[in-house]
């Protein structure tokens, strides 16, 4: 799915967007092909900063992994037609059925080797298309936190067309929420200029993902930490269509307060 944000790189209002899947539509005209999507978004004055090519990049079935890697490479080549410059990915799991579920094999050396092998196959298409791969740390995946994300970036090198999509809620649990300031500050310190996008959601008391402002995160403090990052798109996740306006208003208000 596409992530849509308002054009511009200045204040938060210009960088604030939302997952396209928040607004499900059923007709071909509403779910159009690449050129039509670009025209429709251009007419509305809305940009597409990033496109998801997410798949399980270390799936235990090598044939499935190879097929989906080839599909992702093709999608990467189409992304510039949408005006986006980031293609989002996760780092995968050895769980064969759920790409977000943790697996003991994620900690093994061969999992990291397969991650690098898949990413290496996508770096060249990304470079040719003039886009960056945005890898999102996920608690159930190989790149599970800021430190493993920093390790990956270090191995890929500064010139690689790759960066990090930072979802701060992914770095926290109800058990660690009391340390949120410390954990988020470390993530910003480690990943800083290599962050190519931010996702905004919250952590419910149950541990599940929740809409911004309905969970345990101190969002005024979060936005204060994010102010140390480059002015990248901030994309709302896990909000319903009915709640989207409220989330936007709260984020803009908290941003003003944090400033």
Q: State pLDDT tens for residues 117-165.
A: 999 999 999 999 999 999 999 999 999 999 999 999 999 999 999 999 9
Confidence class for position 30, pLDDT limits 50, 70, 90: low
Collapsing DSSP to helix, strand or coil, 88 comes out as strand
Q: Does residue 221 or residue 46 have the better pLDDT?
A: 221
Quick one: CA dihedral 198, 204, 209, 212, positive or negative? negative
Distance of CA 14 to the CA centre of its chain: 18
pLDDT at residue 4, as a whole number: 41
* Model confidence, pTM: 0.89
Structure tokens at 226: 């994010």
pLDDT at residue 200, as a whole number: 96
As a whole number, mean pLDDT of residues 81-103 equals: 96
pLDDT of 237 over the 80 cut:
yes
Give yes or no for a contact between 76 and 129, defined as CB atoms under 8 angstroms apart.
Answer: yes
pLDDT of 10 over the 80 cut:
no
Q: Which residue has the tokens 């235990």?
A: 60
As a whole number, mean pLDDT of residues 67-76 equals: 97
pLDDT of 56 over the 50 cut:
yes
As a whole number, mean pLDDT of residues 25-48 equals: 73
Number of Cβ within a 10 Å radius of residue 245: 10
Number of Cβ within a 10 Å radius of residue 235: 24
pLDDT of 234 over the 90 cut:
yes
Q: Using one digit for the tens of pLDDT, what is the confidence trace for 190-211?
A: 999 999 999 999 999 999 999 9
As a whole number, mean pLDDT of residues 168-190 equals: 95
pLDDT at residue 210, as a whole number: 96
Distance separating alpha carbons of residues 234 and 250, to the nearest angstrom:
14
Q: Using one digit for the tens of pLDDT, what is the confidence trace for 99-126?
A: 999 999 999 999 999 999 999 999 999 9
pLDDT of 26 over the 50 cut:
yes
């Amino acid at each position: 799915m596409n992530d849509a944000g308002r054009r511009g790189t200045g204040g938060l209002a210009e960088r604030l967007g939302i997952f396209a899947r928040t607004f499900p539509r059923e007709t071909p005209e509403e779910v159009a092909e690449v050129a039509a999507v670009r025209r429709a978004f251009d007419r509305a004055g809305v940009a597409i900063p990033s496109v998801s090519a997410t798949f399980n990049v270390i799936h235990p079935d090598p044939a499935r992994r190879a097929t989906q890697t080839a599909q992702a490479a093709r999608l990467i080549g189409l992304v510039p037609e949408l005006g986006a410059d980031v293609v989002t990915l996760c780092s995968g799991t050895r769980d064969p059925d759920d790409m977000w579920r943790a697996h003991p094999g994620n900690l093994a050396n061969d999992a990291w080797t397969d991650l690098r092998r898949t990413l290496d196959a996508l770096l060249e298409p990304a470079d040719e298309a003039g886009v960056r791969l945005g890898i999102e740390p996920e608690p159930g995946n190989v790149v599970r936190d800021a430190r493993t994300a920093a390790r990956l970036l270090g191995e890929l090198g500064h010139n690689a067309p790759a960066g990090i999509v930072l979802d701060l809620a992914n770095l926290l649990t109800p058990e660690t929420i009391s340390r949120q300031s410390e954990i988020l500050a470390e993530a910003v310190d480690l990943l800083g200029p290599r962050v190519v996008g931010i996702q905004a959601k919250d952590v419910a008391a149950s541990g599940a993902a929740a809409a911004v402002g309905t969970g345990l995160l101190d969002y005024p403090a979060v936005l204060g930490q994010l102010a140390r990052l480059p002015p990248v798109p901030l994309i709302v996740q896990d909000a319903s269509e009915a709640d989207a306006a409220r989330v936007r208003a709260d984020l803009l208000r908290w941003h003003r307060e944090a400033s």
